[in-house]
A and B are shown apart, each in its own frame.
Chain A
């Protein structure tokens, strides 16, 4: 009964926020002078209307989900990692380079590329963690700054030393990966690839880690009450550093599966333009850092985006409808902390009376 009540409480706020977000979207649809029901109908069709569209939505949710899982881990430990974007592109480019230039059989190269992506993303993120631990340079600021350095550095690498010079147009991208290192598609003719399976397995793994291991408990303790955790002998630095490495590794993996499973090469801007990193952050917040909840939140946000593409194809309403709905939704989700705080205060007052 208690568990059921808890579930209801944790679902209530996201649902209310979603409703408000959709309502705000409706206001803007009517401003453009389009029909609200028809637009949302088109949105639904664009996201889930056919098996093909549904698979495309899941494909888009894959990098969002992986990033959100890493951030869920970081947020649980009270670590504000804002550098998912940089960790993602560095991981993705290193993985692409390994897949391109390492000798050996396809499967080995594929595995090596995946591991490289995770490790590079993780190490780049860990660097910010070390700066905080050793020199007290705030994570919030350093991770934000590291994004630009990473994005500009990868942009330089693919527009000069590792640029694909085979085509006639000199685009900023690496050469195409050979077919043997591609992540397999789950269904023929669909965009969904094996990266989604990796993400789901990771989500379940993270859920079990949080639920059943002492490390998971330490993370939770540190995030919810750092003083109690310190009293209990938890090393704040150790948990922070591990959280940074893991969240960066997940971001690196997100970029890697996108390269190996969808684009088959590293293209400058292809990972940053869709805003995967920020959407992942929103998904982690929307799900209150619960790994299983993150799966649904990621698919929901991806559906908003693929749905909005459908809307843009078929109506006069622009794609940015998704941005508006997302933003309003997150604004109302972020007010949750207050709501919980307010309720706690009210309870406190009642117990005193």
Chain B
């Protein structure tokens, strides 16, 4: 039983955590402006596909990442237009966005690459594994912290940057104000619509990178529906983390660990369903104690009173 836990488990946890963390941080941006975004799953899928398209046609990894971020940004603007501009119900739009993401990527997979199910090209390069000079040579810690794709480091940096943004910048303060009380924010002259669009577009970019990590970081291929529920896990990580960047970092690490353990357990032919279930049970349990029920904004109470 003990050989389940070793340094390679920690290392694979860090790899597993990246897409969840990036998407959950994106989700928190939406939650902070009072929009509960269930469309993260669709965003990630679109990002994963765009990254592969970019990589295949430009041959450059950086352009691929750029394209993933850009295309998902456009996709998120559709979500933004429906929810902010047309004031459509965000849950309904999110569900539709997920269907659209799955439909579009499968469709375009056929249209662009002419294949069904999965696209794989042996000439395609995945994201490099960065060997960080000094860090790499530290015994024990080195192999854990070094040798990941750049996006892994980007995701951890994003958590810190987002913390600084929320709590140390004026715009971040304004973003939080919109989520806490949109009417009050408007009355002191904030442009709530613009702030909501800003948050949603940043969410799109982060989810696009999450998708790129899936299709270029962990493997180098695209398969239909490869987000495989990570968007929803990210949503749960966001709720458990109370939309606070460090809270999200902690909950994402926990879920990544569960993910890594699940994969390990398969080798031991133990039931994986219970480890997979744990994040959800934990989140429900945490809801009893969390004061604003994971939204990080007042929208929650407004909605349930509807």
Contacts and interface: CB of A to CB of B under 8 A. Distances in A.
B294 interface: yes
A352 interface: no
A278 B107 CA distance: 20
Contacts of B232: 144, 148
Interface string A320-342: 11111011101101110110010
B253 to A, nearest CB: 19
Contact of B239 (A141, A281, A285): A141
A282 B96 CA distance: 9
A318 B284 contact: no
Contacts of B303: 80, 138, 140
Contact of B91 (A33, A82, A321): A82
Contacts of B264: none
The secondary structure that dominates the B interface is helix
Contacts, number: 139
A331 B97 CA distance: 8
A322 B102 CA distance: 11
Contacts of B87: 337-338, 341
A61 interface: no
Contacts of B100: 323-324, 327-328, 331
Interface stretch (B10-18, B53-61, B121-129, B268-276): B268-276
Given A32-B110, A153-B273, A226-B305, A330 B92 contact: yes
Contact of A148 (B82, B102, B277): B277
Interface residues of B, number: 48
Contacts of B106: 318-320, 323
B291 to A, nearest CB: 10
A142 B304 CA distance: 12
A52 interface: no
A331 B96 contact: yes
9 contacts: A31-B111, A138-B293, A138-B303, A144-B38, A148-B277, A149-B277, A318-B116, A326-B99, A331-B100
Given A281-B95, A321-B103, A324-B103, 5 more contacts: A153-B277, A156-B274, A318-B107, A330-B96, A337-B89
